[in-house]
A = this chain, B = another copy of it.
Amino acid sequence: MTPATRRRGTELEQAIFDAVFEQLGAVGYARLTMEGVAASAHTGKAALYRRWASREDLLRDALEHALPAPAEVPQHGNIHDDLLELLRCYRDVTEVTKGAVFKLLKIDGEDGYVLLHSVVRERVVAPLRQMILDALRRGAERGDVRPEAATRQVAHVGPAMVMYHCLTESADLPDEMLISIVDEILMPIVTVSGGPGRLSPTGTGPGR
């Protein structure tokens, strides 16, 4: 029995989606072409155009396909570990999409991004913010998070730091970086009292 020589249906689509991210990594969004994706996927343009009317349609589907299902809010019972796990989820998303999460966020004038921008906002930015906010609120009820820190603005800090690091320093996000963000930045903001063994300030304890 000879094995099939052609990929069909979802198998071919998976190869095409893989090629999208390979090309995003290799040439960036600005120079991503249908021809390049087709070549990387070892298929013809007609197979792409049979499914997608445009580059942006293809990108949107590739992105939707690559993004994981929404995660559950962690239940570690302490805010430090909850926040760390959420930032790890975020890191994983940026890695699986070859940094597309950041690069497809719209800047004025980049009209082609509109559709993609909203995908990233709805599937990445908003769910992550909501999960962080939920973790903060639960921490506030537990008593290890200051109630005033359970805000939308504070929920942005971790993701903002991750993005800034990736765009200005290195796409590499080792665990030590995530831990540093949680310890040095997030914990001083959110904790009622600094705990022992943490870098959070001890001088912010009771007495306020």
Contact = CB atoms under 8 A, between A and B. Distances in A.
In the complex, the count of this chain's copies comes to: 2
A199 interface: yes
A189 B193 contact: no
A192 to B, nearest CB: 6
Interface residues of A, number: 59
A107 B171 contact: yes
A189 B199 CA distance: 10
B121 A30 contact: no
A73 to B, nearest CB: 20
Contact of A28 (B102, B113, B149, B168): B113
B208 A198 contact: yes
Interface of A is mostly: helix
Interface centre among A27, A98, A108 (most CB of B within 10 A): A108
Given A30-B29, A164-B156, A199-B148, A185 B189 contact: yes
A160 B108 CA distance: 19
Contacts of A108: 24-25, 27-29, 98-99, 103, 171
A31 interface: yes
A72 interface: no
A74 interface: no
A149 B151 CA distance: 22
A146 B181 contact: no
A46 B30 CA distance: 25
